[in-house]
Amino acid sequence: MRLLPGAALVLGASLLCGTTGAPPLPYGTLDPGVGARLPGFAAELAQRPPLTGVGAWTPLAEAEAWRRLSTAPNPQRQAVRWDYARSLIAAERGPEALGVLEVMRQDDPDLGMVDAWRLAHGAALTQLGRSEDAMAELDMPGLRANPEACLWRLRALAQEGLAEQALAQLDCAGPALASPRGAPFVLAAARAGVEGGAPDKALHWLSWLPDREPAANLLRARAQQALGHADEARLRFARVVQSGDPVERMDARLSKLEGDVARGAIRPGAALKEVDAIRYSWRGDGIEERALRLSYRLADARGDLSGTLSAGAALVRFHDVADLGPEFLPGLRAKLTAALDPARKLPLDKAAGLYWDYRDLAPNGAEGDLMASQLAARLQQAGLYERAADLLSYQLTQRAGDLARGPLSARVAGLYILAGRPGRALRTLRETDDPGLPDAMIAERKRVEAAALTQVGRADEALAVLQDLPGTSALQAEILWQRRDWARYAAFSAGALPKGRVLDPVAQAQVLRHAISQAMLGREDALSGLHARYAGAFKGLSSAPVFEMLTGTAGAVDPGKLAQAMAAIPSASPAGDFADLLEAGKK
């Protein structure tokens, strides 16, 4: 009677380790304080003939194996373990075999230098699916020309989908494949043959397996298809669909479609519809990758940009595209760049959606920065400030270099303010804070920060941020004007009054604002002084009546006239774009 795996492991732990006082250490670890606890077997094993063919892995009856383990004296225990490990490998019980082999090495570290032990260790790792570790064990000088080791290397490489490298092992592994081997070896060799350009050899090896075996029939169909035998392949695929497991059935469906596309037996539109159905019903593993590659080729051939980008992006994000060639990713980026070229005049909503869906494919460096900046400018011009900010925020956090991060962070924060999201603007500035930025960049960030602080009702903090920055008097005055803090505004704006005799709209606004602040404070002397200084300059201007109303008549100004005067002030602000940020929350 065969023990259940769990019971076998529990019993095995006590039997395998029963000769030592310490339990086995974790895999790959040797206790530096303990020498060989059961020495001698490494030398004996190294002197034995090499492991070759099916006879290298002699199966043992379960009961006999456990009887021998439980009764073996210490001097023979390693030999009994060795027989048991090879029996487990013969039964495709790699995880258990790996445990036995590691216990052996713990009791005699010299086994790690013996080719036979390393071959068995690599075989167990292959069965466990750890192909990379298996190759490290099997690619030792003493094993490179060993047919059995070559066969296990072929199997490990085939498991990783490295068909050409697997086939390169064929000459060396030939003697080990001269007679029928177990199904895992045959299937691995046949898969390598089908995918590596040797379908005739694959059919020869598959002849060793039963005609009704679904896994073998799948590879037979693919081999027949590669040889141009479409009818035979179609029948084999149909048999797999009838009898295979879900993976084999989907593989058969996709493989048949790949063959139909290759020989032009299906229209591109119908092929795309079929491969899309496969993609949306199957996720992960090599089947999805093959479906994506086929979808990419079909969509690209039809000039279907959306389909090409969708399949290409999925390949880049979730699969290894190294074997598609060094031009694949640059080519995919070039397609996105061409689609978003302003000269193409793609509608803004489509352009923004396309970029956002495939933003991780955008070119790196200056080219990618320009693409994002141009699209953000279009969104900003359309009044879509938050979408523009989100787009540039991704560029800021994921792609921008250190030098670009300073001005870009200020631009993103400014867009969030225009979108009515001053809190998000402050968070953006906080998350991108860098004392190492140049002074000009720090100053620009502080100006935007002051606008955001004003928007959230923290005007005093905004003024504190600006007070140490040179050339910010107009900005501070703008904050005070917005707050209607007339006394402080009058003090700030007095030093910035224009000195020339010609007043542009900004200069007119400066004088009129200063006059209103003085009128609100009831300072008639100051108003008279303004009239004497600027009456000539306002003569003939559309704002002259307002100036005259504020400064030309002594006595208290009528509140209604003040409101009228404020409404008549030219819209140009002395603070420029900063005023737009302050006004954003009111719109």
Query: Nearest to residue 78, comparing CAs of 116, 34, 29, 111?
Result: 111
pLDDT tens digits, residue range 456-499? 989 999 999 998 888 888 888 888 988 889 999 898 888 888 88
Do 135 and 20 reside in the same domain of the chain? yes
Do 222 and 194 reside in the same domain of the chain? no
According to the per-residue pLDDT averaged within each range, which of 288-297, 365-374, 390-399 is highest?
A: 288-297
Report, as an integer, the average pLDDT of 511-523.
89
Predicted local distance difference test score (pLDDT) of residue 269 = 92
Q: Which structure tokens are listed for 61?
A: 């009856």
Report, as an integer, the average pLDDT of 369-390.
91
Predicted local distance difference test score (pLDDT) of residue 17 = 52
First to last CA, the chain: 83
Judge whether 318 lies within some domain.
Answer: no
Report, as an integer, the average pLDDT of 495-511.
87
- CATH number where 382 lies: 1.25.40
Q: Which structure tokens are listed for 462?
A: 């905004």
Report, as an integer, the average pLDDT of 2-6.
41
Predicted local distance difference test score (pLDDT) of residue 242 = 94
Do 201 and 243 reside in the same domain of the chain? no
Judge whether 522 lies within some domain.
Answer: yes
| Secondary structure of 57-87 in HEC code, one letter for each residue | CCCCCHHHHHHHHHHCCHHHHHHHHHHHHHH
| Secondary structure of 12-73 in HEC code, one letter for each residue | HHHHHCCCCCCCCCCCCCCCCCCCCCCCCHHHHHHHCCCCCCHHHCCCCCHHHHHHHHHHCC
Predicted local distance difference test score (pLDDT) of residue 557 = 60
Helix axes 183-196, 214-226, angle to 10 degrees: 20
Counting other chains too, the contacts that 131-138 makes at CB distance below 8 Å and 24 or more residues apart are: 131/156, 131/157, 131/159, 131/160, 132/160
Judge whether 198 lies within some domain.
Answer: yes
Query: Nearest to residue 147, comparing CAs of 51, 49, 55, 59?
Result: 51
pLDDT tens digits, residue range 231-261? 999 999 999 999 999 999 999 999 999 999 9
Task: Give the other-Cβ count within 10 Å of 26's Cβ.
Answer: 6
Q: Which structure tokens are listed for 504?
A: 């542009």
The H or E element containing residue 374 is helix 365-381
Cβ proximity of 155 and 188 under 8 Å: yes
Do 214 and 162 reside in the same domain of the chain? no
Judge whether 166 lies within some domain.
Answer: yes
Do 458 and 552 reside in the same domain of the chain? no
Predicted local distance difference test score (pLDDT) of residue 403 = 55
Do 17 and 142 reside in the same domain of the chain? yes
Task: Please say if the pLDDT value at position 30 is more than 70.
Answer: no
pLDDT tens digits, residue range 400-425? 655 567 788 999 999 999 999 999 99
Residue finishing a domain among 441, 470, 499: 470
Residue finishing a domain among 207, 227, 252: 207
Do 170 and 255 reside in the same domain of the chain? no
Predicted local distance difference test score (pLDDT) of residue 404 = 65
Predicted local distance difference test score (pLDDT) of residue 450 = 92
Task: Please say if the pLDDT value at position 10 is more than 70.
Answer: no
Report, as an integer, the average pLDDT of 556-584.
73
Do 10 and 27 reside in the same domain of the chain? yes
Judge whether 228 lies within some domain.
Answer: yes
Judge whether 549 lies within some domain.
Answer: yes
Task: Please say if the pLDDT value at position 564 is more than 70.
Answer: yes
Quote the domain boundaries for residue 228.
Answer: 210-266
Judge whether 419 lies within some domain.
Answer: yes
Question: Can you tell me the distance from the alpha carbon of 6 to that of 257, in angstroms, rounded to the nearest whole number?
Answer: 43
Residue finishing a domain among 470, 495, 517: 470
The overall average pLDDT reported for the chain is: 86
- Answer positive or negative: Cα dihedral of 209, 210, 213, 216: positive
Predicted local distance difference test score (pLDDT) of residue 430 = 92
Number of domains observed in the structure of the chain: 4
Judge whether 324 lies within some domain.
Answer: no
Do 564 and 440 reside in the same domain of the chain? no
Cβ-count burial 268-280 (b if 16+ within 10 Å, e if not) = eeebbebbbebbe
Do 35 and 160 reside in the same domain of the chain? yes
Predicted local distance difference test score (pLDDT) of residue 424 = 94
pTM for this entry: 0.69
The one-letter amino acid code at 251 reads D
| Secondary structure of 84-99 in HEC code, one letter for each residue | HHHHHHHCCCHHHHHH
Do 218 and 183 reside in the same domain of the chain? no
Predicted local distance difference test score (pLDDT) of residue 341 = 86
320-to-137, 251, 255, 312 alpha-carbon distances in Å: 25, 19, 20, 11
Report, as an integer, the average pLDDT of 333-362.
89
Do 191 and 238 reside in the same domain of the chain? no
Cβ proximity of 190 and 205 under 8 Å: yes
The H or E element containing residue 351 is helix 348-357
